[in-house]
Amino acid sequence: MKGIDVILEKLGIADVNHGVTTGQASWESGGALLESFSPVDGRRIGAVRQAAHADYGRVVETASLAFKTWRSIPAPKRGEIVRQMGVKLREYKQELGTLVSYETGKSLQEGLGEVQEMIDICDFATGLSRQLYGLTMHSERPQHRMYEQWHPLGVVGIISAFNFPVAVWSWNSMIAWVCGNVCVWKPSEKTPLTAIACQHIIQDVLKDNHVPEGVSCIVSGGRDVGEWLAQDPRVALVSATGSIPMGRSVGEAVARRLGKSLLELGGNNAIIVTPTADLKVAIPAIVFGAVGTAGQRCTSTRRLIVHDSIFEEVKSRLAKAYGQLKIGNPLDPGIHVGPLIDQQAVRQYQNAAEQIKQAGGSFVVAPGIPEGDPYTSGCYVTPCIAEVENHWAIVQHETFAPILYLIRYHDAEEAIALQNDVPQGLSSAIFTNDLRDAEQFLSFGGSDCGIANVNIGTSGAEIGGAFGGEKETGGGRESGSDAWKAYMRRQTNTINYGTALPLAQGIKFEIE
């Protein structure tokens, strides 16, 4: 891609980079080289040197030591440092956004949007640094005071996925930092360069504020690095974003040592379209939800549950909209759909298409692999739509690709039952102008997901809300609202300022 070299230079990403850092210092590490290829045009963008086990050990040691200093800095001062990181991110938004787009294949708009999420979470975390509130309670005993306070946990391990290679790290790290923790980040092995770029962007802030080495660490590598984090009792919290099998193995390993984990795993998100839906609003929301990021968001719209009376109309309007989609270089502003992350993802898309056919599904918009220029990286696919049954194994499974399933319903109760009848529970939406349908969907008997929207799609959540989902999505909440509590430990304190020792529950225990 033209101009990418200038951007790489500005972000300080040489051909081979240190993949292990503890903040300002980068380390010569002993692991193998991890190369990064752009799915856009197949070019080798660069490489990072991965962490060997000994490197990992030294990083966690440095981080543990840094925690002792970092936690003693007042939270609002830590917030001020995070604010400065937000300023730096504003400065590098264009470059980082472009690299995100080039390394992941998402559109430039979405790459820039991802950096905007980082900026927004910096602002949020800065404000939060003055609001880490605990409650006070009335004690049942005279001359006693009871309250709770929140303390930092220690080392927070962050495992992030390729599809949001930088925003999800910042949701975790910015909040973890203002809470007084230090962070050790294992970025996705599919997007190692954007992670190093982030460290370069915040490096001056760390240096100017004399932040100790170890507050912001990266350990590049594959599955083994994730396992080291999960098994390490020095890592108080492991926050992992990715597939359900990955989350299950991290969750099990952390639980075995009774550590804390925060899991943000796969979704199988549905939109219900009722007879009163405004299709002018619904159709673009459905299309963006299904094909945005080439269907590789955990919040991507995978299932469309449409009322029988408007089924044919929705189907033909979607087919028309899909006919207008431009697939190609995501850095070109006229393009709607970029490539999948790699050729393995293309094979998964093909397998899913095959399974849909075998199960008896019929395609409204056919799957395909575009060929020739500019598709030479072999990572591009055609977004498709299939009429299916909700209970089919392939429909119950999250395929990270732009495949939209069309499902028919007859009454409101059935629509909600279909929406909930999958193992995952991340995001959901209803398009309706009927107050009863909307409220029913949002009630306890409605959507069972962590996110439930009315007249907006399943993806594109704002950072201010708690982000995450139920069931096999893992139950974790990141980002806004009171998600910060997962990064702190709660301590309940009772203070007796009287001259007697009354016991709780009225228990008498008399002794001289």
The CA distance from 139 to 504, in Å, is 9
Sign for the pseudo-dihedral over CA of 232, 221, 250, 66: positive
- Tell which positions 124-163 bind ligand UN1, by CB under 6 A: 161, 163
Q: In this structure, what are the phi and psi dihedrals at residue 134, rounded to the nearest 5 degrees?
A: -115, 165
If one asks whether residue 461 binds ligand UN1 (CB under 6 A), the answer comes out as yes
The binder of ligand UN1 chosen from 67, 70, 162, 164 (CB under 6 A):
164
If one asks whether residue 285 binds ligand UN1 (CB under 6 A), the answer comes out as no
The least distance separating ligand UN1 from the CB of residue 463, rounded to whole angstroms, comes to 7
What CA–CA distances, in Å, run from 109 to 96, 98, 101? 12, 9, 8
If one asks whether residue 269 binds ligand UN1 (CB under 6 A), the answer comes out as no
How crowded is residue 445: how many other Cβ atoms within 10 Å of its Cβ? 11
The binder of ligand UN1 chosen from 460, 465, 470, 489 (CB under 6 A):
460
Based on CB atoms, which residue is closest to ligand UN1, 86 or 480?
480
Based on CB atoms, which residue is closest to ligand UN1, 82 or 461?
461
The least distance separating ligand UN1 from the CB of residue 9, rounded to whole angstroms, comes to 29
If one asks whether residue 297 binds ligand UN1 (CB under 6 A), the answer comes out as yes
First to last CA, the chain: 84
Identified catalytic residue from 95, 189, 264, 398? 264
The least distance separating ligand UN1 from the CB of residue 299, rounded to whole angstroms, comes to 4
What is the β-pairing status of strands 269-273 and 301-307? parallel
The least distance separating ligand UN1 from the CB of residue 117, rounded to whole angstroms, comes to 6
Which of 281, 209, 255, 219 is closest to 430 using CA atoms?
A: 281
If one asks whether residue 400 binds ligand UN1 (CB under 6 A), the answer comes out as no
The least distance separating ligand UN1 from the CB of residue 144, rounded to whole angstroms, comes to 45
Annotated catalytic, 264? yes
If one asks whether residue 301 binds ligand UN1 (CB under 6 A), the answer comes out as no
Place of tokens 């395929």: 399
Which of 181, 174, 301, 187 is closest to 242 using CA atoms?
A: 187
The stretch among 190-198, 305-313, 320-328, 453-461 that binds ligand UN1 (CB under 6 A) is: 453-461
If one asks whether residue 299 binds ligand UN1 (CB under 6 A), the answer comes out as yes
The least distance separating ligand UN1 from the CB of residue 134, rounded to whole angstroms, comes to 29
If one asks whether residue 305 binds ligand UN1 (CB under 6 A), the answer comes out as no
How crowded is residue 112: how many other Cβ atoms within 10 Å of its Cβ? 16
Helices 279-291 and 311-323, interaxial angle, to 10°?
60
Residue nearest to ligand UN1 (CB): 461
Based on CB atoms, which residue is closest to ligand UN1, 132 or 426?
426
The CA distance from 112 to 110, in Å, is 5
If one asks whether residue 241 binds ligand UN1 (CB under 6 A), the answer comes out as yes
The binder of ligand UN1 chosen from 201, 235, 298, 401 (CB under 6 A):
298
Beta bridge partners of 136: 147
- Tell which positions 30-89 bind ligand UN1, by CB under 6 A: none
The binder of ligand UN1 chosen from 459, 471, 483, 484 (CB under 6 A):
459
The CA distance from 411 to 239, in Å, is 39
Q: Are 297 and 459 within 8 A, CB to CB? A: yes
Q: Are 226 and 246 within 8 A, CB to CB? A: yes
The stretch among 40-48, 248-256, 410-418, 455-463 that binds ligand UN1 (CB under 6 A) is: 455-463
The CA distance from 84 to 89, in Å, is 9
What does the block give as tokens for 407?
A: 């499902």
C-alpha 297: how far from chain center: 8
The least distance separating ligand UN1 from the CB of residue 284, rounded to whole angstroms, comes to 15
The CA distance from 147 to 138, in Å, is 8
Q: Which residues bind ligand UN1 (CB under 6 A)?
A: 161, 163-164, 168, 241, 297-299, 459-461
Residues labelled catalytic: 264
